[in-house]
Amino acid sequence: MLVLASLGLSISGSNMLVLASLGLSISCSNMLVLASLGLSTSGSNMLVLASLGLSISCSNMLVLASLGLSTSGSNMLVLASLGLSISCSNILVFASLGLSISCSNMLVLASLGLSTSGSNMLVLASLGLSISCSNMLVFASLGLSISGSNMYLGLVGVTSPVQRHQPLPGPELEDPEVAEARAVCGALPGLVAQQVQVCLKHPGSLQSVSDGARRGIQECHYQFRNERWNCTTQNEEHNVFGHIMERGSRETAFVYAVTSAGVAHAVTQSCSSGNLTECSCDSSRQGRSTPEGWKWGGCSDNLQYGVQFSRKFVDASEYVKATGTAKDKKRRNIRTRMNLHNNEAGRRVVSSLMRMQCRCHGISGSCELKTCWRTMPSFSEIGDMLKRKYKHAVQVSPKMRRRLRRKSKRRLPFGKGDLVHIHKSPNFCLHDPEKGILGTSGRECNKTSIGSDSCGLLCCGRGYNTQVLKHVERCHCKFVWCCYVKCKTCETQIDIHTCK
């Protein structure tokens, strides 16, 4: 009692009765620790702590206090109601990451359905992602999941998956870089098990995969900018193109081909520029002379490695076993063959457009010796050829022995480089959110065009609205001596036509 009083603690009957009824130890040592931490030991706070089943032993209290964490009843109540463990180990993990665990932050995390366990927090931190409330809200509003899914196109947002020389805490016997790669690869969106294994084996290649996927999507936007379907992307969890990808149409065939080609193109480019340690320039012909009198040299693009990597990584998701009824599995097998065919068709386009570049050597450019190497085309050239293949895509149907055949009665053959599809494309005229179709209402059209961007085709016969815009600019500028520029002001009218 003397000890309690010396600490300035109330020893009134009501408080003592509350403490005792809670079965709380009121030994001098415990009380001294609590008081030295500046923790209130009043009946109300103690009652809240005990009713939550929270341990208030000295060791736990010391950890909480040393972290500067409030242990008041209101905060504890919120933590417990969220089902969040406040054991020392978890608290230490949160604190080591510099994460605030105040009630407001915890409420935001929980309302987003985000796990706040130590392992998940470590993965998020290893990705360099801020996990403050504001960022979490943004992630959630975009529908972005931190868990894996089944389409690698979610990697378009990856900028630097593995940060070297910043190892994560992990098992003592595990190499820091291996632990880091394991944490990152397991948290990236859209990867199946085989893709995670490729990621673990080649963590540095993920930046190239991200660049390739982004390259493919941007080219899709450009190629279809004047079409009814303009390759619109959406903020979906594992499918950036939305529900349109659920249908095996020509548009889906193009997306698979262009993104597969994008990954092969980006990985090959990284090899040539020396950004990947596991590959370099193609040295298979280096130094060889030809009958024409020129010599292989320079840095030939190692497309073989890029194609093999794309085949191993991109195609992996198609080999995931289908679940469900026999009909579901059959439908999945048909779609799998279509996707794999179009993936390969995209890579074949890159190979077919490879060209040779040469440089002359000799006095005054006499070209006594010529050095040549093989180089990839620009990705816009790849996109142009794939768009031409899209226009002549072949509709196919399943055949025995796991092959595809042309659906039309003419039974004309189609090559491995052709795009194939199993469903007819919708007209994309009217808004249909269930099918992922935005419609063409409000799209700008070209009144004088006769192509796909014409108001007649793009507006699907619904007509269009015309808005007149005035554009004022400086014109007919002349230099006057000395020394200023004199210009006139010109006003032009621009007609903007939008679909009804």
Pairing verdict, β 484-499 and 444-445: antiparallel
**pLDDT attached to residue 361:** 78
Residue 146 region by backbone torsions, left for phi larger than 0, else alpha for psi between -120 and 50, else beta: alpha
Q: 8 or 440: whose pLDDT is higher?
A: 440
Q: How far apart are CA 293 and CA 170, in angstroms?
A: 58
Least confident interval from 43-47, 140-144, 455-459: 140-144
CA 27 to chain centre: 56
Look at residue 422 and tell me whether its pLDDT is greater than 90. yes
**pLDDT attached to residue 404:** 63
Its pTM stands at: 0.63
Q: Are residues 239 and 335 in the same domain?
A: yes
Which phi and psi angles does 369 have, rounded to 5°? -135, 135
CATH number, domain with residue 476 = 3.30.2460.20
> Pick from 214, 248, 207, 253: which is nearest to 233 by CA?
214
User: What string of DSSP letters covers 52-120?
Assistant: TT----HHHHHHHHHTT----HHHHHHHHHTT----HHHHHHHHHTT----HHHHHHHHHTT----HHH
Give a yes or no: residue 451 inside a domain: yes
> Which of 393, 412, 439 delimits the end of a domain?
439
Q: Are residues 407 and 453 in the same domain?
A: no
Query: Could you report the per-residue pLDDT of 20-68, keeping only the tens digit for each?
Result: 444 444 444 455 444 444 545 554 455 444 444 445 554 455 444 444 4
- State the average pLDDT over residues 228-245: 79
**pLDDT attached to residue 358:** 85
Q: Are residues 384 and 496 in the same domain?
A: no
- What's the domain range around 482? 441-500
Q: Which residues of 355-387 are buried (b: 16+ CB within 10 A; e: fewer)?
A: eeeeeeeeeeeeeeebebbbbbbebeebbbbbb
End-to-end CA distance of the chain: 85
Give a yes or no: residue 335 inside a domain: yes
Q: 222 or 19: whose pLDDT is higher?
A: 222
Q: Are residues 274 and 308 in the same domain?
A: yes
Q: What is the mean pLDDT of the chain?
A: 71
Q: Are residues 372 and 454 in the same domain?
A: no
**pLDDT attached to residue 320:** 73
Q: Are residues 364 and 339 in the same domain?
A: yes
When divided into structural domains, the chain yields a total of 2
Give a yes or no: residue 135 inside a domain: no
- State the average pLDDT over residues 416-444: 92
Give a yes or no: residue 326 inside a domain: yes
Tokens standing for residue 497:
């036509």
Query: Could you report the per-residue pLDDT of 311-354, keeping only the tens digit for each?
Result: 999 999 888 755 555 666 666 788 999 999 999 999 999 999 99
Query: Could you report the per-residue pLDDT of 80-101, keeping only the tens digit for each?
Result: 444 444 444 444 434 444 444 4
Q: Are residues 243 and 257 in the same domain?
A: yes
